Structure 1
Amino acid sequence: MSITNPDARSLVADTRASVASYIKSGQPYIWLTAAAITVAFIITCALLVLTAARGLPHFWPAGLVQARYLQPGAPAVDVLAEIRSREEVTAARLKNAGLPVSEDQPLYERLLIKVGNRDLLGSDFRFVLSDWLVERSYPRDAVVLERMEWGNFHGFLESVRIDGKVVEGEAAWTAYRAAQGRVNELRERIRDIEKVQIGSVNYELERLRLAERRLQIEGKTPQSHPDAYAELAARRKEQDARYQQLREQLVDLNREANRDTVTMRTVDGQLIEMPIFKLVDGYRPNAMGTFEKLGHFFAKVWSFVSDEPREANTEGGIFPAIFGTVLMVLIMSVIVTPFGILAALYLREYARQGPLTQAIRIAVNNLAGVPSIVFGMFGLGFFVYFIGAGIDRAFYPEASPAPVFGTPGLLWSSLTLALLTLPVVIVATEEGLARIPRSIREASLALGATKAETLWRVVLPMASPAMMTGLILAIARAAGEVAPLMLVGVVKLAPSLPLDGNFPFIHLERKFMHLGFHIYDVGFQSPNVEAARPLVYATSFLLVLVVISLNVTAITIRNRLRERYKALDH
């Protein structure tokens, strides 16, 4: 349909001109980019909220409900449990599962409850129908005991035996809390002796054994070199004496720690006596106020962050995984940064720009798209079996046939991830070098500086923000990688940290724990799925926080460098 009115035609033409001018100004693209960033930010925040909401309630002291479970056609069962989740299930689904439900009621509420007492009941999680869980109450004297093994124990405190004296009634709870604090202090002292002091003795004894083995390999016998063997024997005798002294201390501490016991009564009337040394903590959730629960929550979060895992990684903390992740990323950053910068510097400043250089750049860009598991296979074959085995033959013949560096470890994991992230650093650094005006280089050369001095004192400082951008991207990718690490150093549980007080203090040959692999192991290899589920979310949330912390640190350094050299950019 044509427009005959001149004013209308003029209005349409003006409108079209305005729209065309608006599009040419670039404003729609700015708003589109802002919308995309907003959506990405909202998705990221939603991910953090989801992981936090699913993981952090695990540390909150949930109330214990005492009830009778009356399933038709089955004997009544007394339960004392935490209600973990609720869901609606159709009657047809329950009927297919063999439950005697009525189809007149289309939906039933099903509860997931944590009954604890896994050693007595076989499993500590059960699904029950809410309609059949009757006579509910929340007794204030119900107790949750967190144990070293077998998960939590739910029951009622009957008595406490302290140094042979039995305490009953309400005073038993006060006596137990005091005894638990004392036992926890003893456990820390025992752990220090076992893992730190005796570990140091064993480490030194192993070094002496290897030193003696080296003398034998070199053909030095006790007859030809009596002084060397005598020195080793004296040092071994000194370590043996120290070990015996520590063993005596350990026996005394264990005797004192296992002295006190607690007697608990289950909801069905069984009396169970257990050493307080086998317990980690105990609390009465139904008798706790809001501030007490908050204190308990933060204490458990700190324990999760600072303690070691136990019970197939479904209990305890994840400190070794945090430590291993951060240490590996730091070592990877120290390795990848200089190599990436040198490679970019050569390609941009020294290499003749031609087909060969362009082919190298294409290869570097393609390398960034190689699956990470391929890097893991390369690291295992080249670093571990080739370089590591060569290092063992050249420098550690006394350890043969046990490998030292010829086995997956922290060093090879860091090198593998350095190769994985190297293209990112090269590309980012090259982009930064390309943005520096040629006139600045020429001015430096005109003032008498050499090309090397120009690069070192002028070009590289101005390109440092771009280098930090490459490092930020490398950290973000390396911290979350799991597949290659499973081949070159990460394990389910590492007995020792790669950093300790024994010379040379940082042990690059040791295997280590990693947050990403810990998530995989707990989520997919755990024998207790329901207990592991909240820990998967909590560990995922913590991994994101670790990555954010590392990135924020690098971004802060980059911004300071950018402000410092902003004047030179103009």
Structure 2
Amino acid sequence: MRQSFSEWTKSGAPWVWLNAGAVAICLIMVIGLLSLIAVRGLGHFWPADVVQGTYVENDHSVRLIGERVQTEIVPAEQLRGSGVTVAENVEEMHRSLMKVGNRDHGGTDFIWIIDDFLGNKEKPEMLFTAERREWGNFYGYLRGIKEEGKLVASHDGYESSPEYQILWDALQNRIERVTSIQEKIDHIEKGEISSINYELERLRLKERSLQLKEVVETAPYQAITDRRLELDAEYESLQSELLALYKAINRDSITAEIANGQVVEFKIASIVRAFLPNDMGLGGKLVHYFQKLWEFVSTDPREANTEGGIFPAIFGTVMMVLIMSVIVTPFGVVAAVYLREYARQGFVTRLIRIAVNNLAGVPSIVYGVFGLGFFVYFLGGHIDDAFFPEAKPAPTFGTPGLMWASITLALLTVPVVIVATEEGLTRIPRAVREGSLALGATKFETLMKIVIPMASPAIMTGVILAIARAAGEVAPLMLVGVVKLAPSLPLDLNYPYLHLDQKFMHLGFHIYDVGFQSPNVEAARPLVYATALLLVIVIALLNLTAIQIRNHLREKFKALEM
């Protein structure tokens, strides 16, 4: 029997289809956004071919070497307005953004070109790319290798040959040598010397503390002096070793020809890696790609955060979320248990619940201002007065740091945990509580052994929501602890190992800094997408871990619900 339109509407089927369509559209939008971020972010690490050609514009001809980054269509009228000579019958032209590198010689490593003006395009196998610790990428032809200023190998011409392969292999061997020496330098500077400096500072503070306490005995001072002399001797020994390593690492240099024909020289120590992109097969490019991906997630940033990795930001984000979760969970659960199980249900309790719900809608920057004023300046200042007087006037906890950032975000997310926990407590049947009390258990025992375990999945739901919100927050962190570049991780081998007073890096702030504060916007743009994708992955992994714990708890205490 055919159903009329009014009957079909009354059946509720249109609303089902409307909801299904809305969900489908949302899924498509989310998948599309993530796909866009993934393509633009992960594509940055693929070794692109390097193009060489002759660029002719307004009767001016130059040799151009670089890799194509993006292409767009522009109206010819716009080009004519910028002084470019374009034929009258042309309405639009293709324009490409080329990464030409060599910023130390050309002033900029990105230029826009008109595709039709680039002729004699080719991809010579000898063109090499060098990723450097400073000044970005270098593109050119390898001409020679010098050792202590003396030329030890060279090659002329633009065609590959066995002699050139020998020269290239020699460069790779020297890069490996430099990398090995650089690892030793980093170990000494960031490990041994850093530990010595940290202990020297602790000795200084200990001596200052004795002076403030007006200790007159010479033995404590003498012990500090003896230990300082030992550390000074270790420091001098390490400094001598460092000088030898720096001399060794700066021994070699290369000469290379750039696009304008000029032959330039720079130290091999400045090269992170060198490769021949036009001579690489698919296998070689895949190996290079995954090496770059691993570098991105495991190393420190360089070049004003536009090159290198973001490991400190990953570590800081995860550490802050874990500390925040440890703080917010007990406070949120205790508050919810009191409101549901102990507080008299009346006007005041309803008013408190309304206030808690409203707190969830307060802008996050307000929490940041509160955290800066109350936690950092008030609590931190009083903690310094009470426990760290020897460090003053330099603040210890009276300055933004990891602890205050975690507490501020715990305050921001505690309403979520309270509401979720209360909902979980409400769903537990009253008969369960009464049965436990009838068997002789106290109310506290009932809560700890029956009620809270049964509500633990709801508690974990609140924690999951708290993690999802806190991990992506940036505005309050800018006031209470996050920085552009942290000199060291807040977790190391120096006592007390976890340094809650230190500032840290964060993925969300890193995206903001690279995207809007970078001096080299074009170089930073791909890293914005890659970091955003990584932030989504980190949040997803944290949430999946919490979901797995919740599901385990749900299965564990399922018998109590029956």
For residues 38 and 437 of structure 1, what CA distance do their matches in structure 2 show? 36
Name the aligned partner's letter for residue 273 of structure 1: E
Distance 1:485 1:234 in 2: 42
Return closer, same or farther for 1:122/1:194 CA change in 2, 3 Å cut-off. same
Q: Tell me how far apart the structure 2 counterparts of residues 186 and 165 of structure 1 sit (CA, whole Å).
A: 22
Which residue in 2 is equivalent to 1:201?
Answer: 196
**How many Å apart are 1:267 and its aligned residue?**
2.3
* 1:56 maps to 2:51: no
Distance 1:567 1:398, change over 3 A: same
Q: Please state if 1:172 is matched with 2:167.
A: yes
- Distance in 1 separating the partners of 2:23 and 2:338: 35
Q: Is the 2:130–2:275 contact (alpha carbons within 8 Å) kept by the matching residues of 1?
A: yes
Structure 1 457/54 Cα, relative in aligned 2: closer, same or farther at 3 Å?
A: same
Q: 1:249 offset after TM fit, Å?
A: 1.3
How big is the alpha-carbon RMSD for the aligned residues of Structure 1 and Structure 2? 1.5
Aligned to 1:385: 377
**Take 1:306 and 1:365, find their aligned partners in 2: how far apart are those partners?**
40
| Distance (Å, rounded) in 1 between the aligned partners of 2:274 and 2:493 | 34
Deviation by residue 1:481-517 (Cα, 9 ceiling, x = unmatched): 0000000001111101111110000000000000000
Inter-partner Cα distance in structure 2 for 1:342 and 1:529: 48
Q: Which residue matches 2:524?
A: 532
Is the counterpart of residue 303 in structure 1 residue 291 in structure 2? no
Contact 2:340-2:425 within 8 A present in 1 as well = yes
- Identify which of 128, 132, 144 aligns with 1:147: 132
- The structural deviation recorded for 1:32 is 4.5
- Per-residue CA deviation, residues 346-393 of structure 1 (Å, 9 max, x unaligned), is 000000000000000000000000000000000000000000000000
Once the two structures are overlaid, the 10-residue window that deviates more, 299-308 or 37-46, is 37-46
Gap change, CA 1:20 and 1:283, over 3 Å in 2:
closer
Q: Once the 2 structures are TM-superposed, how far is the Cα of residue 35 of structure 1 from its aligned partner?
A: 3.8
Aligned residue in 2 for 1:497: 489
Deviation at 1:39, TM superposition (A): 2.9
Which residue does the alignment assign to 2:271?
279
Superposed, 1:323-338 pairs within 5 Å as: 323-338=315-330
Residue in 2 that maps onto 1:553: 545
Q: Which amino acid aligns with 1:166?
A: V
Tell which deviates more after alignment, 376-385 or 175-184: 175-184
One of 15, 19, 23 as aligned partner of 1:37: 23
Alpha-carbon distance in 2 for matches of 1:89, 1:289: 34
Q: How far does the alpha carbon of each residue in 1:119-144 deviate from its partner, in whole angstroms, 9 at most, with x for none? A: 11000000010111111110001000
Match of 2:393 among 401, 415, 428: 401
Question: What TM-score do the two structures reach when normalised by structure 1?
Answer: 0.95
Matching residue within 338, 342, 346 for 1:354: 346
Which residue of 1 is the match for residue 142 of structure 2?
Answer: 157
Paired position in structure 2 for 1:448: 440
The answer to whether the aligner puts 1:211 opposite 2:206 as a matched pair is: yes
Distance 1:526 1:190 in 2: 28
CA separation in 2, counterparts of 1:89 and 1:30? 45
User: Conserved in 1, the CA contact under 8 Å of 2:325 and 2:467?
Assistant: yes
CA gap of 1:460–1:383, structure 2 versus 1, over 3 A, is same
Contact 1:162 1:179 (C-alpha < 8 Å) held by counterparts: no
Q: Which letter maps to 2:528?
A: V
State the SS of the aligned residue for 2:491. Answer: coil
Question: 439, 459, 467: which one pairs with 2:431?
Answer: 439
Structure 1 residues 54-111: Cα deviation after superposition (integer angstroms, max 9, x where no partner): 11111110001100110024x2111111011111100111112221222310001101
Q: Which digits, 9 at most, give the CA deviation of each residue in 1:376-418, with x for residues without a partner? A: 0000000000000000000000111000000000000000000
Equivalent pair of 1:92/1:103 in contact (CA under 8 Å) = no
Find the aligned partners of 1:28 and 1:563 in 2 and give their Cα distance: 37
Counterpart check, 1:72 vs 2:67: no
Q: Which amino acid aligns with 2:143?
A: E
**CA distance 1:336–1:262, shift in 2 (3 Å):** same
Q: CA deviation at 1:30?
A: 5.2
What is the CA–CA distance in structure 1 between the aligned matches of 2:11 and 2:561, rounded to whole Å?
A: 31
Gaps of 5+ in 2: 155-162
Aligned to 1:339: 331
**Residue 242 of structure 1: aligned partner:** 234
Residue 240 of structure 2 corresponds to residue 267 of structure 1: no
Amino acid at match of 1:48: L
Pairwise CA distance, 1:33: 4.2
Alpha-carbon separation, structure 1, partners of 2:338 and 2:19: 35
Q: How does 1:59-138 map to 2 (within 5 A)?
A: 59-73=45-59, 75-138=60-123
CA 1:358–1:278 in 2, change beyond 3 Å: closer, same or farther? same
**Residue 43 of structure 1: how far off its partner (Å):** 2.0
TM-score (norm 2): 0.96
Distance 2:6 2:137 in 1: 73
Name which of 311, 317, 332 aligns with 2:309: 317
Give the secondary structure class of the aligned counterpart of 1:507.
coil
Return the offset for 1:266.
1.1
Instruction: Name the residue aligned to 2:159.
Output: none
Deviation string 1:133-156 (CA, Å, 9 cap, x unpaired) is 111110001000111100000000
The AA in structure 2 aligned to 1:360 is I
* C-alpha spacing 1:131/1:430, structure 2 compared with 1 (3 Å): same
Question: Is the CA contact (8 Å cut-off) linking 2:38 and 2:530 kept in structure 1?
Answer: yes
Question: In structure 1, what is the Cα distance between the partners aligned to 2:126 and 2:5?
Answer: 77
Measure, in 2, the Cα distance between the counterparts of 1:35 and 1:102.
49
By how many angstroms is 1:18 displaced?
Answer: 6.4
Q: Which segment is superposed worse, 503-512 or 262-271?
A: 262-271
Distance, in Å, in 1 between the alignment partners of 2:22 and 2:183 is 51
Once residues 10 and 73 of structure 2 are traced to their aligned partners in structure 1, the CA distance between those partners, rounded to angstroms, is 56
CA distance in 1, matches of 2:427, 2:5: 38
Percent identity, please: 58
Equivalent AA in structure 1 for residue 352 of structure 2: I
Q: Distance in 1 between matches of 2:37 and 2:4?
A: 49
Q: Give the Cα–Cα distance (whole angstroms) in 2 for the partners of residues 96 and 18 of structure 1.
A: 63
DSSP 3-state at the match of 2:57: coil
Number of aligned pairs? 552
* Counterpart among 160, 177, 184 of residue 182 in structure 1: 177
Please give the alpha-carbon distance, in whole angstroms, between the structure 2 residues aligned to 1:239 and 1:199: 12
Deviation at 1:29? Answer: 5.2
